[in-house]
Structure 1
């Protein structure tokens, strides 16, 4: 049981760590790119040092080659003069310098190989960094677009919620107004019943009681009276 609990805790810690990594993915990626650039700059500095060292050894090679050429001329001159012993001594010196020259040439070749290898690594790293930066730019643009879309969606959701709440408030106001109108109508009807106007209206509608004079009736009466006066 304890082992399972520890396993669960480790799993939770891993998930929490992964969540942190995911939330900071772009920041981590930027830092990793900066670290790569720093390493690239160090490699370029090392390349400069190797090239300078190769140049120093190349200069030594040329110096030794010059000395050997001079000694060979000296040995030839000694032989021309019959100075065999002197010529041998010069020859021994030439042998020593030739060994030193061979060693320096080997060092120059090693530097040349290291320089070429490092140049290739630098070119490869530069290409990878350039492609990586381009992809990061696309990822950042996509990230920004998605954040903007999320913000719009959130605002739209909030607007829909606010709109729904506003519609509910409007319906409640309408219901309250309708109730008030019904109450006022009922109050008018009760007042009419109290002063008898409602009963008069009902009698009039039934044709009982005083009738309302109409303009046609008045004209008919006036015409009839005028006709009687002419006779």
Structure 2
């Protein structure tokens, strides 16, 4: 029983290990696709951040305009307070001064909020620029990885094709050698048949007698010339 349990544990461990290898292999094959998707996701996040930044910058412009208007209002009230004093209307000047104090308090709060808004915009702009730079760097590395992957695939394909071509060439050479051997064998067989046929009808003996000049070769140049001379003398 213990041996069976031990065997099952080893088998499950092996299967888990194999599953991990398969998962890593699939992930490796899909690495470029995964990286492309991650870059698209990052680009989408950057666009969202840029939209938020644009909205904050719009608010900052409105805040700046409001601060300028408050400052202008304060300046106008100060001029009126001076004119009131010049007209010996200190009561009006005091009322105007109270109004100026209220606006200055409001202005101070809005100025602090505006400064915080400006700081947030600066930090956000810096973060977006850093993120964009990292994305651009990653995109460059992915492009290089794609190019390298293409080159390596081409090299593998060329190697396989070369191996297949060499195998095909070797097969072709072997086929050609077998064909030449069959042709040589066929030619030798035909020559043997010709020799046997010549021996059977006696032409082989006549050939050897003509070669030994024992009988005349009627088709030789000398035989033809002698026949022509004889015809001319008649």
Judge which range, 118-127 or 38-47, deviates more.
118-127
Equivalent residue number for residue 226 of structure 1: none
- Figure out how many residues of one structure are paired with residues of the other and give that number: 212
Judge which range, 110-119 or 59-68, deviates more.
59-68
Q: CA deviation at 1:154?
A: 2.6
Aligned CA distance change for structure 1 residues 174 and 26 (closer, same or farther; 3 Å): same
The structure having more radius of gyration, on CA atoms, is 1
Equivalent residue number for residue 37 of structure 1: 43
Distance in 2 between residues matched to 1:172 and 1:94, nearest whole Å: 114
Equivalent residue number for residue 135 of structure 1: 141
Equivalent residue number for residue 164 of structure 2: 158
Aligned CA distance change for structure 1 residues 4 and 109 (closer, same or farther; 3 Å): farther
Distance in 2 between residues matched to 1:67 and 1:10, nearest whole Å: 76
Judge which range, 52-61 or 87-96, deviates more.
87-96
Residue 174 of structure 2 is aligned to residue 171 of structure 1: no
1:17-166 paired onto structure 2 within 5 Å: 17-80=23-86, 83-84=89-90, 86-166=92-172
Distance in 2 between residues matched to 1:95 and 1:9, nearest whole Å: 79
Distance in 1 between residues matched to 2:148 and 2:35, nearest whole Å: 15
Consecutive unaligned residues of structure 2, counting only runs of 5 or more, are 1-5, 221-234
Pick from 15, 18, 28 the counterpart of residue 21 of structure 2.
15
Pick from 208, 211, 216 the counterpart of residue 214 of structure 2.
211
Distance in 1 between residues matched to 2:81 and 2:216, nearest whole Å: 163
Residue 189 of structure 2 is aligned to residue 183 of structure 1: yes
| Per-residue Cα deviation, 1:58-103 (whole angstroms, up to 9, x for no partner) | 1221222222233334444444555555544433333322221111
TM-score w.r.t. length of structure 2: 0.73
| Per-residue Cα deviation, 1:9-60 (whole angstroms, up to 9, x for no partner) | 4333332222222212222222222222111111211111111111111122
Q: CA deviation at 1:135?
A: 3.1
Distance in 2 between residues matched to 1:7 and 1:84, nearest whole Å: 95
SS in 2 for 1:212: coil
